Structure 1
Amino acid sequence: MILSLPDAEATRKFGFALGRSLPAGTVILLQGDLGAGKTTLVQGIAEGLGISDSIESPTFTLINEYFGGRIPLYHLDLYRLEPQEAEALHLETYWDGLERDLGIVAIEWAERLHYKPENYWQIYLTYLDNGRQAEVIGNGELLDWQWEK
């Protein structure tokens, strides 16, 4: 699925729709250049989940956890990490439900992951002259899942 997102507000609204409708256990792998809208999309997801906290990219903290919504949001940013460093964090604990409550896991710079969960959405954000474009690819059980607009 390819979506045209003419501005940051459209990107946020797409995220809002995802946050309102995605089930617990969803992993979203975000890719795109700096400024493509990854954090803006996650801010919309948080809004859709009912989280009122300020959502900032966890570039230096690596992981921010939010529990004030209908389900938790785990926001990860791998920008500063090499793939081996990302692997050493054992991020699978965020989607396997063994150590924490299942929620939505949004991972910026997901191309740095050596391993991926069984089910995930890959969202490629591209910045264009007239806005942004999102290419959404589902994998596993999320392959044919449709978000509620």
Structure 2
Amino acid sequence: MKEIKTYSQQDTIEFGKKLGMLLKKGDVVCITGDLGTGKTVLTNGIAWALGIDEYITSPTFTIVNEYDREDISLYHFDVYRISDPEEMFEIGFEEYLYNGGVVVIEWADLIKSILPGDNIWINIKKDLEKGADARIIRVEFNGERYRDYEEKLGSGDEERK
């Protein structure tokens, strides 16, 4: 597990960009954290690293937003309003998972039972002792697919100021 500390929204975006530069087609990024911790802010960084210039908003009511580029697609899910993981199959969730794009899922803990075991699991927590925008971001790379990602992201704990 890797722990990153950020002190502003821009720091969180920059971490998202750094992670996004590593992502390949078929990668699944699962993001958890309380309301207002920066899940969508992090997703913006990921999207920008993938070459998506649009400002990313959370698809709270539509469940998924698709951003297609010539070389890669981003499928951004917000499953906050899902009451049963099985509802995800009604919107074609499996097709998104295996369609060759990058999948980012906010509130992933709500559908953990249907997620692939190989994933990048991110938990974001506020660090109010360090400031209103300070965050502790814990990243876990699960599965063989992501074996070298942690090393490429940097070794040891990182602290950005």
Whether TM-score is above 0.5 comes out as: yes
Aligned position for 1:64: 65
Unaligned regions of 5+ residues in structure 1, if any?
none
CA contact (8 A) 2:22 2:149 kept: no
Quote the residue 2:106 is aligned against: 108
Residue 118 of structure 1 aligns with an amino acid whose one-letter code is G
Residue 80 of structure 1 is matched in structure 2 by 81
Q: What is the root-mean-square deviation of aligned Cα atoms in Å?
A: 1.7
TM-score by length of 1: 0.89
- Structure 2 spans left out of the alignment, 5+ residues: 155-161
What per-residue deviation string (whole Å, max 9, x for no partner) do you get for residues 57-86 of structure 1?
Answer: 000111000013741111000001113433
Q: SS where residue 114 of structure 2 aligns? A: coil
CA offset digits 1:20-70 (Å, max 9, x no partner): 221111100100000111000000011101111221000011100001374
Shift of 1:117: 1.1
Deviates more, 1:69-78 or 1:3-12: 69-78
| Structure (1 or 2) with the larger CA radius of gyration | 2
d(CA) in 2 for partners of 1:53, 1:118 = 30
Identity %: 38
Runs of at least 4 residues off by over 3 Å = 86-90
Aligned equivalents of 2:106, 2:70: Cα separation in 1: 20
Deviation at 1:144, TM superposition (A): 4.5
What SS does the aligned partner of 1:106 have? strand
Per-residue CA deviation, residues 95-119 of structure 1 (Å, 9 max, x unaligned), is 223xxxx121000000111211131
8 Å contact from structure 2 (residues 16, 43) kept in 1: yes
So what's the TM-score if we normalise by structure 2?
A: 0.82
